[in-house]
Amino acid sequence: MKVLQVLAVLLLLVMAGTVQAAEKELKVGFVYVSPIGDAGYSYAHDVGRQAVEALDGVTTSYVESVPEGPDAERVMLNMARKGFDVIFATSFGYMDPMLKVAKQFPDIAFLHCSGFKMAENMGNYFGRMYQARYLSGMVAGAMTKSNILGYAAAFPIPEVIRGINAFTLGAQAVNPEATVRVVWTKTWYDPATEKEAAKSLLDVGADVIAQHQDSPGPQEAAEEKGVYSIGYNSDMAPFAPKAHLTAPIWKWGPYYVKVVEEVRQGNWKPESAWPGLAEGIVDLAPFGAMVPQDVRDRVTAKKAEIAAGKDTIFTGPIFDQSGAVKVAEGVAMTDAEMLSMSWFVKGVVGTTE
């Protein structure tokens, strides 16, 4: 009898313990490569973080401007020691540091953005931004009169190059004459330089400006010149109401919320997630009033096609800048090939260095 009583008490205690554990605040940490004040890439992630913060029983924190390499390792170690339960690292160079930290803290869920390495408690994720880029390229290709599209590009890394290629293929799908001129600024957020880059593209005859940097500088240049522009990251229409056709945009929130909920429920498993238009992690901003209905219809139809998985965009035949076949007819590029893309498709004017 006494034994039973003791057992009952013990059971109660254990239950109380688990209840308490369930009620414990889940701590979620984010590591950003640039200041969230960049209004772009890190900012988009931070908007996603705020969606997580809004959940009940979850607190979030972040460290911004963390250089890739040993600094990142230290920051993640710090988070782990401070008892964070989920850690998101949002830049490619955080991959190896995160792997090291993940091995030391098996109970913490680690998620790395834009890489490919995994561990038992580390998954990776990214968004198929190139799908939205392709759609924006279609819009640009339909709207250009000079057949020269200008692309203010950030750094020559695969994500940017893939975006330029998808944009070009999209433009050529509606306008085979379209070419894309690329100017590298080697900046993520320097409005003055990026606006000047856009102007230099306008000077050589471009009449639609697209961009990969995070500042609306290029949008301003297009607005002042009275030509069209394609934004990036978020709807940039307020900065260039007369020029802004549309913009490929990020929506991290739903994905982050999903992962955090999974961890809380205890059914999170590391995976390589690369969601796209279908999952809504990337999207197209609303069309500007100047985009004619037939273009809208065509793009919307394509969007449905891509979301349904009927068009993977990077399916051959695809030619490189010299005109040689890079992807044979009917062959689709693998995710790994797309993630490491470092060459331009035919129709792009510029270098990848």
Partner 1 sequence: MLPMRVAKRQEPLGYWGSCVVLSVALLLSLLLSAGMLAIRGTPPLEGILTLFRGAFGSPWALEDSILKAIPIYLCALGVAVAFRLKIWNIGAEGQFALGAIGATWVALSFPDWPKFALLPAMAAMACLCGGFWGLIPALLRQKFRANEIIVTLMLNYVAILFLDYLVYGVWKDPASFGFPMTPVFTDGAIVGKIGTSSINWGLAHCILLGLVIWVFFRFTRLGFEVKASGDNVRAARYAGLPYNRLVVLVLVISGALAGWAGFLEASATVHRLQPSIMVGYGYTAIVVAWLARLNPLAIGFAALLLAGLRVGVESLQLDLQVPAAFGGIIEGLVLLTVLAGGLFTHYRLVWRRPG
Partner 2 sequence: MTFEILILLLAAAVQSGTPILYATLGEIFTEKSGVLNLGVEGTMILGALAGFVTARLTGSPLLGFFLAGVVGSLATSIHGVVCLIFQGNQVVSGLALTILGLGLANYLGTGYVGLSAPGFDPLPLPGLAAIPLLGPIFFRHDILVYCSYILVPLIWLFFTRTRLGLALRAVGEYPAAATAAGLSVAAHRWLGVLVGGFLMGLGGAYLSLAYTHLWTSNLTAGRGWIAVALVIFAFWRPGRAVFGAYLFGGIMALQLRLQATGTQVPSSILLMLPYLLTVLVLVFSSWRRGSGEAPAALGINEEPVD
Whichever of 127 and 216 has its CB closer to partner 2, that residue is 216
To partner 1, the closest distance from the beta carbon of 65 in angstroms equals 4
Q: Where along the sequence are the contacts to partner 1 (CB under 8 A)?
A: 29, 35, 37, 61-71, 74-75, 77-79, 81-82, 92-93, 115-116, 155-158, 161, 186, 339-342, 353
**Which position has the token pair 């695809």?**
318
What is the distance between the alpha carbons of residues 45 and 32, in angstroms, rounded to a whole number? 8
To partner 1, the closest distance from the beta carbon of 129 in angstroms equals 15
Among 55, 257, 327, 349, binds partner 2 (CB under 8 A): 349
Pick the stretch among 1-9, 90-98, 190-198, 303-311 that binds partner 2 (CB under 8 A): 190-198
Q: Is 238 among the residues that bind partner 2 (CB under 8 A)?
A: yes
Selection from partner 1, partner 2, none that 321 binds (CB < 5 to 8 A by kind) is none
Selection from partner 1, partner 2, none that 104 binds (CB < 5 to 8 A by kind) is none
The C-alpha R_g of the chain, in whole angstroms, comes to 23
To partner 1, the closest distance from the beta carbon of 247 in angstroms equals 25
Whichever of 22 and 192 has its CB closer to partner 2, that residue is 192
What is the distance between the alpha carbons of residues 238 and 107, in angstroms, rounded to a whole number? 44
Whichever of 155 and 274 has its CB closer to partner 2, that residue is 155
The tokens describing 46, both together, are 């931070």
Q: Which amino acid is it at 242?
A: K
The tokens describing 42, both together, are 């890190």
Asked whether the beta carbons of 104 and 74 are under 8 A apart, the reply is: no
What is the distance between the alpha carbons of residues 130 and 165, in angstroms, rounded to a whole number? 8
DSSP per position, 285-298: PPPPTTS-HHHHHH
- Residue 88's beta-bridge partner residues? 30, 111
Q: Is 181 among the residues that bind partner 2 (CB under 8 A)?
A: yes
Residue 315 DSSP one-character state: B
What is the distance between the alpha carbons of residues 160 and 157, in angstroms, rounded to a whole number? 6
> Contact positions toward partner 2, by CB under 8 A?
35-39, 43, 150, 156, 181-187, 189-193, 195-197, 199-201, 203-204, 206, 215-217, 220, 224, 238-239, 349-351, 353
